[in-house]
Amino acid sequence: MLRINVIARGEPLQDEEASDSLATLNEMLHAWETDGIHLGHTNLGLEDTIELPDNHMRGVRLLLALELLGEFEKPAETLLITQADRAKRQLIAEYQVIPEAKFDTALTDFQANRSQYDINRG
């Protein structure tokens, strides 16, 4: 909230702001599944912590700040956008699960059973 100038340093976070921000965080972490960031996320409560390595927490904070801009009708700074984009790419690189490539047997069987086609005989 400090990052997007919603509250000043030392100012307490209001209950409604905290619950709205938590809902946004949970929605964001669930949505990452479609981006290939597989965290196995379950909804967090206000007293819960995210179980991620410390070096990924900055990225989560940056991406949450970017998400919260719309909630609090704040303009996006270019630096925040750039940092959040880089953080998201780093998270994708770390957590993306790429499925093993498999060949369609119809394609391999087609090649093995294919005979020569004679253009004159049809």
The pLDDT tens digits for 56-79 are 888 888 999 888 887 767 777 888
DSSP annotation of 5 reads T
Closest CA to 28 of 16, 43, 18, 17: 43
Q: How far apart are CA 34 and CA 78, in angstroms?
A: 25
User: What integer pLDDT is reported at residue 7 of this predicted model?
Assistant: 59
Q: What gap in Å lies between CA 58 and CA 34, rounded to an integer?
A: 21
pLDDT reading at 3 higher than 70:
no
pLDDT of residue 35: 84
The H or E element containing residue 55 is: helix 54-71
Give the whole-angstrom CA distance, residue 56 versus residue 79: 18
How many Å separate Cα 19 from the centre of its chain? 21
Q: Taking residues 53-58, report their average pLDDT.
A: 87
H-run or E-run covering 78: helix 78-95
SS3 label, residue 7: coil
Structure pTM?
0.67
Phi-psi category of 44—alpha, beta or left, where left has phi over 0 and alpha has psi -120 to 50?
beta
